[in-house]
Every structure is written in C-alpha cells, then in structure tokens.
Amino acid sequence: MAKKIEILENTLLKLLTRRGNDDDRQNIILSQGELGYTIDGKRLFVGDGGTLGGSIVGNIYKGSVADHTTVTDAIVGDIVFNNTSNIIYFKTATGWLAASQILEAGDTTININSGAGTITVGTLSASNFSADIVGNSIELVSGRISLSSTQIKTDQISAHSSTHLKLPAALNINAVNYTFPVGGLGSNQVFLGADATGNLHWRTPDKSSTFYFNSSAAAVPVGTVVAAISGASMPTGWLICNGQSIAVATYGDLYSVVGYQYGGSGSSFNIPNYTNTVHVGTADPASFTNSTLTSTGSATYTTKGVVYFIKAEADSVISTTLSIQGGLTATKGGVPQTSSFSLLDGAVEIGTVIPGVEVTTLSGTSSFTTKATFTKVWVTGSGAKGGSRTGGAAATVYGILSAPIGTTVNYTIGAGITTNNSPGNATYISIGGTELARSFGAAFVPANIHTIPNTAANTGTLSSSEGNVVAGHIIPGGSGGWDTSTGKEEAGSTASFWGSDQAPGAGSGGHGGDSIPTVAGLVKFEWGS
C-alpha cells in the first residue's frame, strides 16, 4: 500500500529548495525542474537534468558603481551602471560589454547637445579641410580658401550682374596674351588675329586685300617700286627707298632680288635711295649713271615730289586648301571634289548637296552610306502569301534620319514567301547597332473575312527616342483573309504602299489554294533638296 500525505484544511506546509554554496552548485546536476538556491550569491537556478549547476532563473541589476570592473560576484547576463562614464555594462562570458557609447565632438565643427539629444554642424573653417579637397585651381592660404596663385593669375574677377562675371580686359592663356576689344565687337568688322609674337588681338585687318589671279604668279613681286604721295603711313611689307641698311635674315626675299647692288655686305644689305631723284627707264637700274635731262621742242616740265616704296616681303597665303562639310558640294574646274583641295589652281564652285535616290529590293543584309545630313528612308517588309485566301500587305515605315555625312546605315530586307497561307518577313534599318525602323512582315489572317479588314496587325515601329530619327510615319498594310474559294467574287491581293500583287510588300492573291510567291521587301534612301 502506497504511502500518502494528507493535507488538512489548517495544515501549514513549508517547501524548501535544494541549497548550498555557488561552488557546490557548479559541481552537481539538478534534476529536470529541480530548483537550487545559492546561499552565498542568493540566486535561484533550475535544472534540466544535464547541465552542471542548472540555469539561472533571473539576472540581477548590480547597482550603480564608480568602476564596474570592481563588481566580482556578477554572472553572465547581470548588468551594472558605471556612474563615472554614465554607461551601462552587461556581463559576458569573457568580461564586461558596454551597452552604449558616449559621443563627443572633437572640435567646433560638430555640436552635440546631450540634453536635447541633437547633433548639429558647428563652425567650418579652412583648417578643418584637407588641401586635397580644393584641387589645382583653388588653394588654402593661411587658413583661407583662395584662387591658386600659381595656377590662376588675374587682375580682376568681379560680379557684373546676377548672371555674368566681369573679366579683365586681357588674359594670358598658355603664355599667349589675349586682348578683348574695347567696347566689344559691335559692328566694327573686327577680326581676331595673331601678331608676330603669336599674341591674339581683336582688330581691323591690317593686311587684307583682294587679289585676282590668272596664273600662279604672285600678285605684287618682291622688289617692285611704287610712288606714293606720302610716306607717313607705311604699308605692311613695304620699305621707303632711302638707302637704309636692312638685315638679310629678315628680308631674305628682297635680298635675293637686290643683293649688294646698292651697298652693304655680310648680314646686311642696302636698298636703293630714290630721294631727290628722277627715274629713267633702263635695262640695268643698279649700274645706271647720272644723265642730263634735255628738253626738246618747247616742252616745259615741273617737278613734284613723291615717296618711293619697295616691296620687301612676299605675300603669303596661310592656307591654300578648302574642305567641304555640312552637306555642301564643291567642284574645281568642273570636277567634283570629295576631300580637301587647293583654291589656287582652278575655278571653285560651292553648292548644295546633289540629290539622289538609292533603292534596294533584294532580300538580305547590306548597308548604305549617307550622302547628306538629312536622309529620307522607306522601309517595307514582305507580304503574306495567299492560298485559299488572299495574303496581307506589309506596312511601309517612312522616316527622316539625321546623321553626319558618311554615316553607315545597316539594313536587312525580308525575303518573299513561297509557302501558302504564310506571313511575310520583316525589314529593318539600324545605325551603330541601334534599330531605328522596322516593318513587320505582313500578317496572314486564317479566317474568312467579308468585311473591311483590320489593318492593325500589318504595321511596324519607328524609334521615337533616338536622336537619329527626326520625324516619320507608319503606313499600315491591308489585311489578307478574303475568301477566294466559296463561289464569291474573287478578291485580288491586298495592295502595299508600293502597289498591288508582285509589288514590294504586297500580299499575293489566290484561287482554290493556288497563288504565286510574294516578292522581297524594300528599302529606299533619298537625299538632297
């Protein structure tokens, strides 16, 4: 008979758990659900039948201390507050772990308000930035951000208005002086030119002339002498005939004509002195001796003073070639020019691009090179082949392409269909791998249609996002499917944009299941005015 304990209504029970020191607990295994109490640590543990010492029932807050490391009776999971650093620490198997971190600003660039819980940007100065942040044109000088004294040199940059800067009257660009015109360009017909040292200036031309050549000879040969009414304004490339000595290195062209005939030696030579002289025609001016002017008859001569100039520098042509771009054409002597050519050896005519058309109706892949900046293009796929019903017609995609002269336009033309009751093949064009226009092959409608056909299936695409396409339009093709074998009036093939049966893009007719094959599609390019 089993023993039993009877608890009466007024019975008082006192339940005690297993207890001992914490060292003892760590060396025993508590039964599953068995409680153990450490009398030294005053903690309660529960066993699982396998873990030495069991598992703690609840961790303890160890209070507020000045140094959390001085707490020695904590176990894993206990917490303590360090009132020196104002940080909460958790006890881990390896030590103490901070539950948070106090952030403090290193300088005045950041403001931390611990009371309000906010972080704001404080004072920024050049000393807070690395010199690498400003690049080459800006530098840090004495703690201030400034324009680079070595990379940028200027006398003045100031605000002129809300949208403009006021620049100095002259700039130095790569050791070349650039001078702006005073008062702007206006209508003064000024031009930008370089002087002998390579510096740039806006000014009226000082060497401009219009020459008409009937040969390859120079307009005015070096050594030519002309009389002028005044020597106050010396034309460029001319010298006064006053016997002056000039350098051979500077006036080499004139030296090859004059030499030392009028004096000089070595690196210098003299030009003629025509001051207070009267000229007489002779075959050898340099060796001509003075002669006496004798009047014949009753003629009277009155002398007048002039200044004689000698051509000292040859006329130069900076560039003798011309390149035609932008859709223009050029011929020289009636011969078309396709590259850069000389202007000095023939009559040149400039005109607009010569109109032209290129049409391809052969199936397959090929390419076209643009002849003008703007090119019209037609793209048509092949038609659907009929049989017991008529075949549909492909759409024609029309567009205007914008591309530089010489751009390659790749295209593929859809082949004609030979199998009865079959849709057509597509035709498309592209530039640089980007498709610009496509005409789908005509759709074949496999049902009897005795009403106006739906043309939505026989269409195409035209790029609207690519810069090469300026404008365009898609001309749909007619649907097939008209019955030709039920005793009704026989219907011919639907017409494409280019025509009816056997035209590019047209579907073929049919009767009793018989029909002729369709033809390939079409690509057409047209350019010119």
Hey, which bits of 312-446 come out as E strands?
321-322, 328-332, 335-336, 341-342, 348-352, 356-360, 364-369, 374-380, 396-402, 408-413, 427-431, 434-439
Residue 9, pLDDT score:
73
The dihedral of CA 431, 367, 457, 394: what is its sign?
A: positive
Q: 367: helix, coil or strand?
A: strand
* Alpha-carbon distances, residue 459 vs 364, 383, 520, 525 (angstroms): 20, 11, 16, 20
Rg (CA), the chain: 51
pLDDT tens profile 21-57: 888 888 888 888 888 888 887 888 888 888 888 888 8
Query: Is residue 356 pLDDT above 60, yes or no?
Result: yes
Q: How many angstroms separate the CA atoms of 84 and 270, rounded?
A: 102
The two tokens of residue 335 are 């011969």
**CB contact at 8 A, 134 and 140:** yes
Q: Which residues contact 371 (CB under 8 A, 6 or more apart)?
A: 353, 354, 356, 405, 527, 528
User: Predicted confidence band at 210 (pLDDT cuts at 50, 70, 90)?
Assistant: very low
The mean of the pLDDT values for the chain is 79
pLDDT tens profile 125-163: 766 766 666 666 677 776 667 766 666 666 666 666 666
Q: How many angstroms separate the CA atoms of 250 and 268, rounded?
A: 10
Q: How many angstroms separate the CA atoms of 447 and 390, rounded?
A: 10
Cβ count near 43 (within 10 Å): 19
Q: Which residues contact 169 (CB under 8 A, 6 or more apart)?
A: 179, 180, 182
| Span 390-410, average pLDDT | 89
Closest CA relative to residue 411, chosen from 455, 465, 375:
375
Which of 115-119, 120-124, 151-155, 300-304 has the lowest average pLDDT?
151-155
| 154 against 251, higher pLDDT | 251
Residue 359, pLDDT score:
96
Q: How many angstroms separate the CA atoms of 413 and 409, rounded?
A: 13
Q: How many angstroms separate the CA atoms of 73 and 41, rounded?
A: 7
Output phi, psi for 69, to 5 deg: -70, -15
**CB contact at 8 A, 66 and 82:** yes
pLDDT tens profile 285-340: 777 777 777 767 777 777 777 888 888 888 766 667 777 765 677 788 778 777 78
Query: Is residue 209 pLDDT above 80, yes or no?
Result: no
* Alpha-carbon distances, residue 273 vs 79, 304, 309 (angstroms): 115, 17, 10
| 529 against 437, higher pLDDT | 437
Cβ count near 310 (within 10 Å): 20
**CB contact at 8 A, 240 and 231:** yes
Specify the pairing of strand 356-360 against strand 335-336: unpaired
Q: How far apart are the first and last CA of the chain?
A: 124
**Percent of the chain residues topping a pLDDT of 90:** 19
Q: Which domains does the chain have, with CATH numbers?
A: 18-56 (2.10.10.30), 61-98 (no CATH), 133-203 (no CATH), 213-278+306-314 (3.90.1340.10), 324-351 (no CATH), 355-529 (no CATH)
Q: How many angstroms separate the CA atoms of 442 and 453, rounded?
A: 13
Burial (CB count within 10 angstroms: exposed 0-12, middle 13-18, buried 19+), residue 291:
exposed
Q: How many angstroms separate the CA atoms of 46 and 33, rounded?
A: 6
Residue 208, pLDDT score:
46
**CB contact at 8 A, 416 and 426:** no
The two tokens of residue 66 are 């000045």
Q: How many angstroms separate the CA atoms of 369 and 361, rounded?
A: 17
Query: Is residue 492 pLDDT above 60, yes or no?
Result: no
Which of 39-53, 414-428, 477-491 has the lowest average pLDDT?
477-491
Q: How many angstroms separate the CA atoms of 170 and 179, rounded?
A: 4
